[in-house]
Amino acid sequence: MKKILTSSQTVGPFFHFGLKPIAVLSSEDIPGEKITITGAVLDGTGARVNDAMIEIWQANSRGKYDHPEDQQDRQTTPGFTGFGRVFVNGDGGFEIKTIKPGPVDWLEPGQQAPHINISLFARGVLRRMATRIYFADDPATGGDPVLNLIDGPGRRNTLLAQPVDGRPGAYTWNIVLKGEQETVFFEV
Amino acid sequence: MTKPTAYNREASETQPPLNHPGYGSTAERSPGKPLVLLPHSLSEITGPLYGQDSIGPNDHDLTRQHDGEPIGQRIIVAGKVTDENGRPVPDALIEIWQCNAAGRYIHEIDQHDAPLDPNFTGAGRCVTDGEGNYRFITIEPGAYPWGNHHNAWRPKHIHFSLFGNAFVTRLITQMYFPGDPLLELDPIYLSVPDAKAREGLVCAFDLENTVPGHALAYRFDIVLRGRDQTPMVG
Ligand SMILES: [Fe+3]
């Protein structure tokens, strides 16, 4: 007989001293294309959410996860776990500094376009909200099998980080918890 | 192509809905559209195996992180982390945080009119052993008021954060105490639909683990998502 799963509960407003921010890039020497994704977390009224935590999980520049179950014939990067944690600031803003991940294998022949797996936690959020960041300027994005599970280009676009003109490696991407521009969240 | 061994889906009655009217802040912070069901690819069955080598000697003992002893009832909180099939989850990082015995967090935005304790921070970390067991020493937290509704008080609780082995096993939860009269009034606790699952968030008094003359003990076991097939790891 299966055991009953432990239920999720909100992270609440007071996590900042119990959990610690973790930089995805532990050093400047990690190989790959350096990128910075900036944005804000917004609620259904358009107000900025100032007490959210965002966790990042990604492959390295070769599309390899630092995990024993990643059996792809690719090399991990010493010093790069692919995990990070950022807290939004008092204005709901955040900044993710990392390297652009490579494409990773899909369940069928073919690759998933470069993406970053995101978990969002906040007061008023009873369980982790999972989403993904893709790159609007990556030619593989349009053919990504996960994006193509989502109905309609308008909704798909909520997962696309947009390049900032004239600033190589700079992207913007917001998380909208509810409403017209609501970000696509996944049941994982 | 990589066809990883997928995790079982969560039984929905064990997890709170994102929109729970009793908990006012969920109203504008929960999506209006349904979640998109994601098959488990490499991105979901991998996850951070972080923190195992960064535990300090007093990280598990919240009563010994300052010069003096904190005020409050000393307690041991211990248990086992397994998956749904009862398999232990070894080497799993657990992070906890809580308020002090008076119901006040050290956090700067906590404005509860109750004293801070100079000898208590309320944050701890440990890693499960080879059998999935963990153990913290702390003091019993107090209840604290919050603004959800008139005269709202959170039942005594300790926040727990765990990763498991995959992106999909990530869990942040709260452990509650047996017999707390505030539980049946708390919309966060009551957000879990299934009564048995709710009771799983309440620790049990554990006489065997008490330290005579020193500390009471509670047991809190944690069940993370699992899968019915063993993954291929070469
Ligand atoms: Fe709390």
pLDDT in tens, A56-67: 999 999 999 999
Confirm whether pTM is higher than 0.95: yes
More confident residue, B232 or A85: A85
Cα of B221 from ligand 1 centre, angstroms: 19
Please check whether residue A93 lies inside any domain of the structure: yes
Q: Is the pLDDT of residue B187 over 90?
A: yes
Please check whether residue B187 lies inside any domain of the structure: yes
Please check whether residue A9 lies inside any domain of the structure: no
Closest CB from B42, B45, B173 relative to A6 = B173
Q: How many domains does chain B have?
A: 1
User: Residue with structure tokens 């708390």?
Assistant: B186
The boundaries of the domain holding residue A55 are: 14-176
Strand-pairing partners, residue A129, are A120
The boundaries of the domain holding residue B182 are: 47-223
Which pLDDT value is given to residue A63? 98
Residues 20-39 of B with CB under 8 A from A: 20, 23-33, 35-39
Q: Is the pLDDT of residue A15 over 80?
A: yes
Please check whether residue B57 lies inside any domain of the structure: yes
> To the nearest 10°, the Cα dihedral for B174, B177, B183, B188?
0
Which pLDDT value is given to residue B233? 65
Contact across the interface for B50 and A81, Cβ inside 8 Å: yes
Q: Residues B40, B60, B154, B227: which is the catalytic one? A: B154
Q: How many domains does chain A have?
A: 1
Please check whether residue A48 lies inside any domain of the structure: yes
Rounded CA-CA distance B18/A124 in Å is 8
pLDDT in tens, A116-146: 999 999 999 999 999 999 999 999 999 999 9
Cα of B93 from ligand 1 centre, angstroms: 20
Q: What is the mean pLDDT of residues B152-167?
A: 97
Please check whether residue B129 lies inside any domain of the structure: yes
Say whether B60 is catalytic.
no
Task: Classify A156 as helix, strand or coil.
Answer: helix
Rounded CA-CA distance A163/A160 in Å is 9
Contact across the interface for B84 and A13, Cβ inside 8 Å: no
Closest CB from A2, A7, A177 relative to B30 = A177
Please check whether residue A159 lies inside any domain of the structure: yes
Please check whether residue A2 lies inside any domain of the structure: no
Please check whether residue B136 lies inside any domain of the structure: yes
Contact across the interface for B2 and A106, Cβ inside 8 Å: yes
Task: Classify B101 as helix, strand or coil.
Answer: coil
Q: Is the pLDDT of residue B52 over 80?
A: no
Alpha helices in chain B (DSSP H): 42-45, 187-190, 195-199
Confirm or reject contact between A77 and chain B (CB < 8 A). Answer: no
Confirm or reject contact between A184 and chain B (CB < 8 A). Answer: yes
Q: What is the mean pLDDT of residues A176-186?
A: 97
Which pLDDT value is given to residue B176? 98
> Average pLDDT, whole number, for chain A?
97
Say whether B105 is catalytic.
yes
Please check whether residue B68 lies inside any domain of the structure: yes
Please check whether residue A167 lies inside any domain of the structure: yes
CATH number for the domain harbouring residue A63: 2.60.130.10
pLDDT category of residue B153 using cuts at 50, 70 and 90: very high
pLDDT in tens, A70-110: 999 999 999 999 999 999 999 999 999 999 999 999 999 99
Please check whether residue B111 lies inside any domain of the structure: yes
Please check whether residue B1 lies inside any domain of the structure: no
Q: Is the pLDDT of residue B50 over 80?
A: no
Please check whether residue B163 lies inside any domain of the structure: yes
Q: What ipTM goes with this model?
A: 0.97
CATH number for the domain harbouring residue B57: 2.60.130.10
Say whether B144 is catalytic.
yes
